Amino acid sequence: MHDILPKEEKYWKAAYHTAENLAEHFQFGRIESPLLEEASMFVRSIGKGTDVVDKEMYIFEDRDGNKVALRPEETASVVRAYIMHGMWNMVQPVKMWYWGSMFRYDRPQAGRFRQFNQVGFEILGDADPVQDAELILIAHNFYKDLGLPVEIHINSIGVPEERQKYKTALVEYYRSKRSYLCDDCKQRLNKNPLRLLDCKQERCLPIKEEAPQIIAWLEEESKNHFMKVLEYLDELSVPYVLKSTLVRGLDYYTRTVFEVYPVMPEGDESALGAQSALGGGGRYDLLVEEMGGKSAPAVGFSLGVERSVSALKQYLDAQQIKFPTQQVDVFLAQLGDQARRRALKTINELRTSGVKVAYNFSKNSLKSQLETANNLQVPYALILGQKEVQDGTIIIRDMESGVQEIVDQKKVEHLLKKKLSRFDVNAK
């Protein structure tokens, strides 16, 4: 568990607004699902034998004896809502996005928490590869807009019939290497062979790299689908890396799967480096029907917010780039009790009119308050003392030139907006 402190808020706010802007631009509607769902829903959708179901889900009985779970991911909840609310009757595809807390009993380590946040985008009701490409573009743009370089790892895992043939070849290959495998992979070999390709243990990596590639077992339709996705990405200039061992950790995926990795400066791949995905997704054409709905193809992805923020901070620190703070228009300095009372009213009046005001009531000296204004790089400071309160005036100070003018308090809003307009590109 972890706290998100006020000093982190600027990164979280930027991430949320970036996702929100992308959602509006690409016409996704926001969905909020319950934190608690029936446990069987996740077992059915994510799949037995996966780490999420076998090791990580928080499952318990409520007072009525029902088995419920804290959601470990949200795709299953989105599909449940699509079915429950008859969204297949709407114009297809249905495009939804979400932002919220997930829960997994994970080993605490850098970028991994038992309560964590994800942002995700889902498109239901269309099998066209253009939808796969659109979502990968959104994931790419999310990090591009935040200022974090990433690369997309992509693969196709085909449909169940193709995967079954591939699993047979994979098991045959791994059985001859069984004595070299880690304990988890020895279990995966019998329970869920595709999960062998998820392993990050060093002893298993050389074996994984030499494993058969699923592309050789794909039929023409799956190959064509994958090639069209790649053609769209080429047209969109979205960089990607083909990864034949990429399968993702959830059973519901079909065909396209992808993951997003941060690109750190050379020599700085600690903490959240090249081995840690920020998120990923893929196509899940069979999940809606498997969960009791009418057949509907779908594709989606989710990104870990904590991981993304951590990677962004690490990248900015390595590049010695200062993350932009929230823009403040003016700083209000006050001197004395009367001025402090009047200052609070002035701050609220300016806020109502759309002017962003910074202030610090714990500081009494004008010098220290103007130093704060200077550090915030505001273009103007307002100065309010006892005399100004009595006269009904206020001082506007140009922080660059130091020039001050005394104005009527009733006119300060109009004068400030006029002065600030020269800094607003959109106002010209």
CB neighbours of residue 182 within 10 Å? 15
Does the annotation list 248 as a binding residue?
yes
Q: How far is CA 193 from CA 45, 64, 190, in A?
A: 18, 37, 7
Does the annotation list 175 as a binding residue?
no
Alpha-carbon torsion angle 400, 406, 410, 415, nearest 10 = -30
Q: How far is CA 414 from CA 353, 418, 424, in A?
A: 9, 6, 15
Residue showing tokens 């002893």: 203
Does the annotation list 187 as a binding residue?
no
Does the annotation list 8 as a binding residue?
no
Does the annotation list 114 as a binding residue?
no
Q: In this structure, are residues 178 and 186 in contact, taking their beta carbons and an 8 Å threshold?
A: yes
DSSP 236-265: HT--EEE-TT---S-TT-EEEEEEEEE-PP
139 exposure class (CB count in 10 Å sphere: 0-12, 13-18, 19+): buried
Does the annotation list 172 as a binding residue?
no
CB neighbours of residue 290 within 10 Å? 14
Does the annotation list 253 as a binding residue?
yes
Does the annotation list 319 as a binding residue?
no
Does the annotation list 118 as a binding residue?
yes
**DSSP state at residue 31:** -
Phi and psi torsions of 250, nearest 5°? -120, 140
Pick from 258, 264, 359: nearest CA to 314: 264
Annotated binding site for L-histidine: 73-75, 104, 118, 122, 248, 252-253
Q: Which residues are annotated as a binding site?
A: 73-75, 104, 118, 122, 248, 252-253
